[in-house]
Each structure stands twice: as structure tokens, then as C-alpha cells.
Amino acid sequence: MVLKQFAALYKARTMEFVRDRGTFFWNLLFPVFIVLGMAFAFSGGDETLFKVGVVGTPDGSPRLLGMEQVQAIPYADAESALQRLERHQIDFVLDFNRATYAINGESSKGRFVRDLFSAQQAAGAGATAPARLFEEVVVSGRATRYVDWLVPGVIGMNMMFSSLFGVGYVIVRYRKNGVLKRFKATPVGALNFVSAQAASRLVIVLLTSVFVFSGTNMFLRFMMRGSYLNLLLLTTVGILCMISLGLVFASRMRSEEMAGGVLNVVTFPMLALSGVFFSLEGSPTILRTISRVFPLTHFIEGARAIMIDGAGLVQILPNLLVLGGLTAAFLALSAALFKWE
């Protein structure tokens, strides 16, 4: 009986979404436009500066590091410097501890710095004194473009809006116009009704996210070092968390205007502080601390870790746990607060 009710409610809500053409296409196309637009806007951003990672203490003062066009970035250990090199975040690594230099075979900038460095070493004058022989190490790895970094952010953002408004706003509208009251007058339980709404939205947002990802991936070929299954799992948990947050707001409110306002108050800080478009590295600690409570932060962080760093389940477990914990808390809160009218 409960299942029959659930299935019928699920079907009705899903049809409502699919037939509402405006909302349907907006949900699908808006994120695609953002990803493509941002990819286009930031495609020509190659800087003229050469970034050289430095490991260990330079003996003497190598001419390369003194050059105006070169930015020297010190690293504590060779591994982290090489990892950056693999991702094209730096162009060249000079390791004074091991007397090696490293380039990324797929980076022409790196080869240019290598040639410059070798010439300077050969010339001797002003090079490291005494002129040491450096051995070459070649790493490989595709460049991480801004768009690789951006796509989890945009999908996360879309997920947030679609879940919060698609559940929160819609239930408030149902309450205001009396649809909820009519359901209350039937044997349908509140939990069953709400679960059906949430399930319908979960599938919709999941499919939208997959569509947006694969659609833009056709043109942009995102970096994907981790597993698609893990990404799907993280996305599902992320959507559940956002939907539960939407349910908290949907549990009592009667006015759509109020709901719209409150949802904006919730979504804007997340948009600003969850690192959707720009990294929060280097921003004040207080902001970074605040951002840790936002579900969006944990989704985006986890997704970037999977795609760019090739993180497995173990590495993203903290993000999954936070999302799961928040989901449970939001669900409990909305169940306690829910009123039909």
C-alpha cells in the first residue's frame, strides 16, 4: 500500500517536472552554458612567467632563479614539487638535494626552461659555482586546466539550486495553494509523501548532473584520474544532503516569497565560500573554517580530489562522512518540523 502510494506520488512529481518545459530546459542547459562559457573565457590565460620549483638549498645563486621572468617556489620535498610538475602547475623543478632537474615531457615551457638552464650551466659564468652536473628527470601528465577544476564546482552549484529549490520551493508552493492540504485529507502519510518528492528530485538531479558532465565532457575532455563510480557515489550523497537541507526549509514555510528569500540566503554564502569558481586557498582562515560546514564545499572538494588527484574512496571518506552526517541531521530536523499546513 505504502509502496503503491509512493510510486504514484513519485510518478506525478516527475511528470510535473518533465512537462514543465521551462524549468526542465533551464535545469539542463544553464550549467552546460556556464561550463562552456567559463572554459571559453579562461582558455587563453597562459602566463608568460615561468614557475620553477626549488627543493633544497641552492648552492650559490643560480642565474636562472635570479631572472625576472622566473618565479621560484620553494618546496619542502621533491614529491610534492614533482606532483605539481605533473599537473603543469609549475614548469620546472630544481632539486639541489639530489642534483636533479625535472621537466614534464608534455610541457614545452618546461623544455624551454631546461634548455635555458643547461645553456647557463654550460656557460659557467654566474651559474652554480662550482658548475655541478644536474641529471635530468622527466615526468609526464596532462595539464590541469581551469575548466577541469571548474566542472565539479558548476555541477555542484547546479545540484544545490536544483535540490534546494526543486524540493524546498515546490513543497512550500504546494502548501500555500492547498495541494498539501488535499493530500493530508487522504490516507497518505507525510513521510511517504516527502520521500516520494525527495526520490523524484534525487533521480532528476542525478540524471541532470550526468547529462551536464557527459555533455560538456564531449567538447572539453575533462581530466579524470579517479573512478567514475566513486564520483557517482559522491554525487548521490551530495544530492541527498542538499535535498534534505531543502526539506528543512520546506517543512513549515507557507509563503513562496519567504522561501525564495531564505533559500537565497542559504545558497549565496555556499556559492561564495565553497570554491565553486575560485579556490579558497589563501583566503582568511575564518572563511575557510566557515566553508567546512557547507555541504557544497565537501562535494566540490571530493569531486576535485577524484578527478584531478585520482583520489579513491579512502581519501574522500571525510567528505562522504560529513555529507552523510549532515543528511541525517537535516532529515531528522525536517521530520520533526514538518507540517502539512
Partner 1 sequence: MSDILRIEGLSKRYGQVLAVDDVSFSIPEGVCFGLLGPNGAGKTTTIEIMEGITAPSAGKVLFRGLPIGKDFKAKVGIQFQSTALPEFITVKETLELFSSFYEAPRPMGEVIDLCSLSDILDRDNQKLSGGQRQRMLLALAIIPRPEIVFLDEPTTGLDPQARRNFWELIDLVKAEGTTVILTTHYMDEAQLLCDRVAIMDRGRILEIDTPDSLLEKHFDGVLIRLPYDGCCTDALAGFEGIAIGEDAIELQTETLDRSLKDLLAARVDLTGLSIHKPNLEDLFIKLTGSSLRT
H helix or E strand, kind and range, residue 208: helix 190-220
9 binds partner 1 (CB under 8 A): yes
Q: How far is the CB of 182 from partner 1 (least distance, A)?
A: 5
Q: How far is the CB of 170 from partner 1 (least distance, A)?
A: 10
Binding mask 179-208 toward partner 1 (x if CB under 8 A, else -) reads: x-xx-xxxxx--------------------
Query: Residue from 20, 77, 135, 257 that binds partner 1 (CB under 8 A)?
Result: 20
Alpha carbon distance 265, 131 (integer Å): 61
Q: Are 160 and 300 in contact (CB under 8 A)?
A: no
Short-list 82, 212, 110, CA closest to 153: 212
Give the footprint of partner 1 on residues 96-115 (CB under 8 A): none
Between 9 and 212, whose beta carbon lies closer to partner 1?
A: 9
312 Cβ contact list (under 8 Å, min separation 6): 226, 227, 230
Short-list 322, 282, 324, CA closest to 301: 322
Short-list 327, 180, 326, CA closest to 252: 180
Question: Distances from the Cα of 242 to the Cαs of 88, 120, 156, in angstroms?
Answer: 34, 56, 10
Query: Residue from 61, 80, 108, 177 that binds partner 1 (CB under 8 A)?
Result: 177
167 binds partner 1 (CB under 8 A): no
Question: Which residue stretch of 7-15, 52-60, 82-90, 212-220 sits at the interface with partner 1 (rule: CB under 8 A)?
Answer: 7-15
Question: Which residue stretch of 14-22, 46-54, 153-161, 312-320 sits at the interface with partner 1 (rule: CB under 8 A)?
Answer: 14-22
Let me know if 198 is exposed, middle or buried by CB neighbors in 10 A (0-12, 13-18, 19+). buried
Alpha carbon distance 165, 75 (integer Å): 45
Q: How far is the CB of 162 from partner 1 (least distance, A)?
A: 17
Q: What angle do CA 61, 110, 140 make, to 5 degrees?
A: 125
Mapping DSSP to helix (H, G, I), strand (E, B) and coil, where does residue 131 land?
coil
User: What phi and psi, each to the nearest 5 degrees, are found at residue 340?
Assistant: -65, -45
Q: How far is the CB of 207 from partner 1 (least distance, A)?
A: 18
Query: Residue from 19, 45, 68, 285 that binds partner 1 (CB under 8 A)?
Result: 19
Between 134 and 174, whose beta carbon lies closer to partner 1?
A: 174
Alpha carbon distance 327, 341 (integer Å): 24
Q: Characterize the bridge pairing of strands 92-95 and 135-139.
A: unpaired
Between 201 and 304, whose beta carbon lies closer to partner 1?
A: 201
Q: How far is the CB of 5 from partner 1 (least distance, A)?
A: 5
Per rule CB under 8 A, count of chain residues that contact partner 1: 25
Question: Which residue stretch of 16-24, 68-76, 81-89, 312-320 sits at the interface with partner 1 (rule: CB under 8 A)?
Answer: 16-24
- Looking at the DSSP assignment, which residues form a beta bridge with residue 51? 71
Binding mask 256-285 toward partner 1 (x if CB under 8 A, else -) reads: ------------------------------
Give the footprint of partner 1 on residues 26-65 (CB under 8 A): none
Between 186 and 285, whose beta carbon lies closer to partner 1?
A: 186
Between 20 and 115, whose beta carbon lies closer to partner 1?
A: 20
22 binds partner 1 (CB under 8 A): no
DSSP string, 45-96: ---S-EEEEEESPPSS--HHHH-TTEEEEEESSHHHHHHHHHTTSSSEEEET
Binding mask 204-233 toward partner 1 (x if CB under 8 A, else -) reads: ------------------------------
Which residues contact partner 1 by CB under 8 A?
1, 4-5, 7-9, 11-13, 15-16, 19-20, 174, 177-179, 181-182, 184-188, 341
